[in-house]
Structure 1
Amino acid sequence: MMAPKWLKDFSRADFLRSVGLYVTRDRLVFVRMRKNVLNVSLLEQQTEELPLGENQQAISELTGWIAEDVREIALKAENDSHERAIRQAILSLLPHFRAGRDPVFICVPQEQAVVQQLFFPQAAEANLQQVLEYEIERQLPFRREDIYYDYLPIGKKGDKIALYLFAIPKKSLTGLIDLLGSFGIKPSGVETTVTALANYFLFCKGEVSETATVVGSHDQTWEMIGLQSNVNGWKPSHNLLYSHWFPASDWAQGTGRELLYERLSQPSTHYNWGELGESFRSVNGKFLEYQDLLAIGNERLKGSDPIVDANVLPAIGVALRGVREAYFTTNFLRHEGADHSRGKALSIVNAVLVGLLFVGLIGWGVSYPIKDELRLRQLQNENQKLEPSVGVLRREETQLQKARKEATFLSDLGRRRGEVLRVLDELSRIVPTNAYLSNLRYRAGVLEIQGNAENASALIPLLERSPVFENVNFNAPSNRGRDNRETFSLKADLEKPKATPTKQP
Structure 2
Amino acid sequence: MGAQALSKNVLSSFNISGFLSWWGQGLLCCLPSGVRQLFWHETTRLVLEPQGKGVRLHRERGESKEDLGFYNGIERGDERFEGKDKVLVFRLSPEQTLSKPITLPLAAEENLRQVLGFEMERHTPFATNQVYYDFEVIKRSLEAHHLIVRLVVVPRRILDEWLERLSHWGLQPAIVDVMGTGPGRINLLPDEKRSSRSKALPRINMALSLLLMVFTGAALLFPLWQERSVVIDLMSKVSAAQEKAEAVIAIRQRLEKAIEASEFLVEEKEQYPSAVEFLYELTRILPDGIWLQQLDFTRGKIKVRGEATEASALIPILEASPYFQDVQFRSPVTTNARTGRDRFYITAQLPKLESLPL
Which TM-score applies when normalising by structure 2? 0.43
For the pair shown, the structure with the greater C-alpha radius of gyration is 1
